[in-house]
Structure 1
Amino acid sequence: MANKAVFLDKDGTLIEDSPYNVDPQLVKLESGVVEGLLKLQAQGYQLIVISNQPGLAMGLFSVEELENLVVYFMDLLNQEGIELAGFYFCPHMPEGDSSQTACRCRKPKPGLILKAASDYDIDLSSSWMIGDILNDVEAGSQAGCKTVLINNGNETEWIVGRARTPDYMASNFLDASAFILDSPN
């Protein structure tokens, strides 16, 4: 039997957005994240982070620094009783950057979600993507998930389309998790 998951953007969704941060001292969980994640986990959702990390391609930090941050972040949540099943990141620049070829893993593409679904036997139609920008929504939609946009002011472009229309627009993480838990599977 396949598992269900909630795929989670990191910056601006789970933690306060601090661009290109790999310093654990600057990691601050968004309000309601612990309570929301505990409730989702209690209902059998695998919790998997899907994050764009272009700072790697830009040379702003190393893979080792990012991996150390991931360990810190997973330990922080674990201390609260939350177990992340996985943490996937895209190390590439946005497609418009001429210094690289297009990748399949950078949101709004669904590559990392599809890889995680394969790795953890996830039923995407029973799963959700929560993010703070429409690229997160599009990645989840393209992967076959239902989606929630946390409307916290981080989306500034509002380039809309069918794949970029969330199933729900939440005011915060706790609102997002409550909507998921109240939705029929």
Structure 2
Amino acid sequence: MTTPPDPISMLPVQDLDLSAAPGERLPAGALRPCLFIDKDGTLIENVPYNVDPAQLRFMPGAGQALAALASAGLALVIVTNQSGLARGYFTRAQFAQLQDALLRRLRDEAGVRIDDVLLCPHEPDAQGRPACLCRKPAPGMLITAARRHGLDLTRSWMVGDTLDDVEAGRRAGARGLLFDSGGETVWRRSPLREPEAVFDNWAALAAHVLDEVATGAAPAGRPT
């Protein structure tokens, strides 16, 4: 099957973190695998545009699963679309307050340290497509994190509750896992939007990734 044309590559570069610039030298040392994690509907319950730490609820088993994955040597990076910033629903300071609470609770309750959090603050265009290179399903946030932290995208996974998350992972050269919590409602399919596997709980997802890491599964490949 032929991969469809890549509309992302034709979009103008705007507000893309310069750490993702072509030709930048990666950090020295061996590249690490990573689990890229969508926030709303995957790591935490989806409360649209919420920035109130009191409403922060982790998905069952998420903390324990992330602790196990970190112990196996995976980096943990949160990548999240936050168009509420562009829409004026909340400020960066309000989002930072929520982020601080999320990271603190993961550390205190599960012993988990998140390596980085990247967000896209932009709205999609009138057709619902990314108008930048960072909003998922564009891969910009993943590529930025890989260059910033020395991550091996071909041995990494993107997990999220929509096929846009899966597509972002695949476009970056990683694998895509769908966390089926009800976030995907359109189910627009294409080769780049086919997940490696679908899970409805964190325990099974972590077991899958740990098994792949332990058996040295072949690196991800772009569909042809």
Question: Fold-level match, TM-score > 0.5?
Answer: yes
CA deviations over 1:115-163 (Å, ceiling 9, x no partner): 0000000000111111110000000000011111011221000000001
Q: Gaps spanning 5+ residues in structure 1: where? A: none
Q: How does 1:52-131 map to 2 (within 5 A)?
A: 52-79=81-108, 80-96=110-126, 102-131=131-160
Q: What percent identity do the matched residue pairs reach?
A: 38
CA deviations over 1:54-113 (Å, ceiling 9, x no partner): 000000000111111111111110112000000000000012279xx9210000000000
Structure 1 stretches of 4+ with a deviation exceeding 3 A read none
Inter-partner Cα distance in structure 2 for 1:115 and 1:159: 26
Larger Rg: 2
SS for the counterpart of 2:195 is coil
Inter-partner Cα distance in structure 2 for 1:141 and 1:95: 22
Inter-partner Cα distance in structure 2 for 1:34 and 1:88: 19
TM (norm. structure 1) is 0.95
TM (norm. structure 2) is 0.79
Which structure features the higher share of strand residues?
Answer: 1
Report the count of equivalent residues. 183
Q: How does 1:1-185 map to 2 (within 5 A)?
A: 1-79=30-108, 80-96=110-126, 102-183=131-212, 184-185=215-216
Q: Contact 1:95–1:103 at 8 Å: present in 2 too? A: no
Q: Gaps spanning 5+ residues in structure 2: where? A: 1-29, 217-224
User: Aligned-residue CA RMSD in angstroms?
Assistant: 1.3
